């Protein structure tokens, strides 16, 4: 396993918080980094586009002040997620803003671009790319990604279908760089299990939705705390890409979660206009994404409390037979 120098001495637990569409805003990212996990947000959450510059300045200023006050326990680094799909007409503009602020980590999704990786490397950043199979994993590394996020079965939002056991084992046969594992990870024991499988980080999203700092409506947060794995529906209807969604939110939208039609993948789109409306407004706004690990989430808490619980569970995790 390989831990990049960027993270050494700055993590309370080996966790990267996933960038959550609409939900991840500076308040959440800053709280995550202060708690000792990598905080992240999608660049597309900053709307209008000019807001991205303000967000990055705010995050850097607040974390720098925190680090000056806590030199013995500096904050974790943060990351910006860039959607590389052709429908994202903001990519070049947002990447230039990231270069201006020398963002330490970029997470790329839905496409791997060599020139983007090279740009991040020029300013001293590193790039992790999220993938759902070996084909995309090889392509990402060939194009210069530093690390991989293996999005396996049970992950929230856009998710794959591979078992994490198989996915990590097969990736480790050819890749010795940093790996983050995504898929139903919502407690510290699961983070420890990810490490034992051969990953460097647990990649956690859904658990952070049910926090005070998350930009999610109260009903969404409550639904996370009262649902379990059997309440997750895997469908490509809402964006054209298969993902996991909360069944109660599908029912609330007047749809039958057991008989959802298939979407045409060629019509998938992830861009936004300046009004902030998605091209497919039901996804994320009315149909809420979530992973299968939410049975571990029983209450809405502050980020610091959630990370403290994850760390305690991580530290206590051991083989009960020993």
Query: What DSSP line would sit under 39-90, residue for residue?
Result: EEEEGGGSSSTTHHHHHHHHHHHHHHHHHHH-TTSPPPPEEEEEE-STT-TT
**Residue carrying the six token digits 């994993």:** 137
CB 224 within 8 A of CB 249: no
Q: For helices 114-122 and 91-101, give the axis angle rounded to 10 degrees.
A: 20
**What does the mean pLDDT of the chain come to?**
92
Q: Is residue 270 in a domain? A: no
Q: Which of 182-186, 249-253, 259-263, 305-309 has the lowest mean pLDDT?
A: 259-263
Q: Is residue 253 in a domain? A: no
Distance of CA 281 to the CA centre of its chain: 21
Q: What is the mean pLDDT of residues 275-291?
A: 65
The reported pLDDT for the residue numbered 91 is 96
Q: For helices 164-172 and 188-197, give the axis angle rounded to 10 degrees.
A: 40
pLDDT of residue 275 exceeding 90, the answer is no
CB 95 within 8 A of CB 82: yes
Q: Is residue 121 in a domain? A: yes
Give the residues across from 106 on adjacent strands: 80, 127
Q: What is the mean pLDDT of residues 8-19?
A: 96
The reported pLDDT for the residue numbered 279 is 43
Q: Is residue 232 in a domain? A: no
Q: Is residue 228 in a domain? A: no
Cβ count within 10 A of residue 253? 13
Q: What is the mean pLDDT of residues 171-176?
A: 98
Is the CA virtual torsion 225, 227, 229, 235 positive or negative? negative
Interatomic CA distance for residues 36 and 14, integer angstroms: 9
End-to-end C-alpha distance for the chain, whole angstroms: 24
Per the structure, how many domains does the chain have? Answer: 1
Which residues, including other chains, have CB under 8 Å from residue 175's CB and lie 6 or more apart? Answer: 137, 141, 148
Which residues, including other chains, have CB under 8 Å from residue 63's CB and lie 6 or more apart? Answer: 30, 33, 34, 75, 78
> What CATH number should be reported for the domain holding residue 52?
3.20.20.70
Interatomic CA distance for residues 111 and 221, integer angstroms: 30
The reported pLDDT for the residue numbered 87 is 86
Interatomic CA distance for residues 298 and 62, integer angstroms: 30
DSSP states of 110-157 as a string?
S---HHHHHHHHHTT-EEEEEESSHHHHHHHHHTT-SEEEEE-TT-SE
Which residues, including other chains, have CB under 8 Å from residue 261's CB and lie 6 or more apart? Answer: 237
Q: What is the mean pLDDT of residues 248-259?
A: 91
pLDDT of residue 276 exceeding 80, the answer is no
pLDDT of residue 1 exceeding 70, the answer is no
pLDDT of residue 284 exceeding 80, the answer is no
The reported pLDDT for the residue numbered 271 is 43
Q: Is residue 222 in a domain? A: no
> Which residue from 64, 131, 159 is spatially nearest to 104, judged by alpha carbons?
64
The reported pLDDT for the residue numbered 283 is 65
Q: Residues 160, 166, 168, 171: what is their CA dihedral angle, to the nearest 10 degrees?
A: -90
In the Cβ-directed half-sphere of 178, how many Cα atoms lie within 13 Å?
Answer: 24
Range of the domain at 110: 7-216+292-316
Confidence category of residue 278, pLDDT binned at 50, 70, 90: very low
Q: Is residue 277 in a domain? A: no
Percent residues over pLDDT 70 in the chain: 92
The reported pLDDT for the residue numbered 272 is 43
Q: What is the pLDDT of residues 105-146, one digit of tens each?
A: 999 998 889 999 999 999 999 999 999 999 999 999 999 999
Q: Is residue 287 in a domain? A: no
CB 11 within 8 A of CB 283: no
Interatomic CA distance for residues 217 and 244, integer angstroms: 19
Q: Which of 76-85, 266-275, 292-301 has the lowest mean pLDDT?
A: 266-275
Q: What is the mean pLDDT of residues 297-313?
A: 98
The reported pLDDT for the residue numbered 239 is 82
């Amino acid at each position: 396993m390989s831990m990049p120098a960027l993270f050494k001495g700055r993590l309370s637990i080996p966790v990267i918080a996933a960038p959550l569409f609409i939900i991840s805003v500076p308040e959440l990212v800053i709280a995550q980094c202060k708690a000792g996990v990598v905080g992240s947000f999608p660049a597309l959450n900053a709307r209008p586009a000019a807001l991205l510059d303000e967000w990055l300045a705010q995050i850097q200023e607040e974390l720098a002040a925190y680090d000056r006050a806590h030199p013995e326990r500096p904050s974790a680094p943060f990351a910006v997620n860039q959607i590389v799909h052709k429908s994202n007409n903001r990519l070049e503009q947002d990447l230039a803003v990231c270069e201006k602020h020398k963002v330490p980590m970029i997470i790329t999704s839905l496409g791997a671009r060599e020139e983007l990786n090279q740009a991040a490397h020029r300013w001293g950043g590193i790039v992790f790319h999220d993938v759902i199979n070996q084909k995309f994993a090889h392509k990402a590394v060939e194009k210069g990604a530093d690390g991989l996020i293996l999005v396996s079965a049970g992950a929230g939002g856009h998710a794959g279908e591979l078992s994490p056991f198989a996915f990590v084992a097969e990736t480790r046969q050819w890749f010795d760089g940093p790996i983050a594992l995504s898929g139903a990870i919502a407690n510290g024991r699961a983070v420890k299990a990810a490490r034992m499988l051969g990953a460097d980080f647990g990649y956690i999203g859904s658990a952070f939705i049910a926090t005070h700092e998350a930009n999610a409506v109260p009903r969404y947060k409550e639904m996370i705390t009262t649902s379990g794995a059997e309440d997750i529906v895997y469908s490509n209807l809402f964006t054209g890409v298969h993902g996991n969604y909360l069944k109660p939110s599908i029912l609330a939208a007047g749809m039958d979660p057991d008989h959802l039609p298939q979407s045409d993948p060629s019509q998938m789109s992830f861009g936004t206009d300046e009004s902030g409306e998605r091209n497919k407004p039901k996804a994320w706004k009315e149909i809420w994404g979530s992973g299968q690990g939410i049975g571990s989430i029983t209450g809405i808490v502050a980020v610091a409390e959630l990370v403290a619980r994850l760390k305690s569970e991580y530290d206590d995790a051991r083989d009960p037979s020993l």
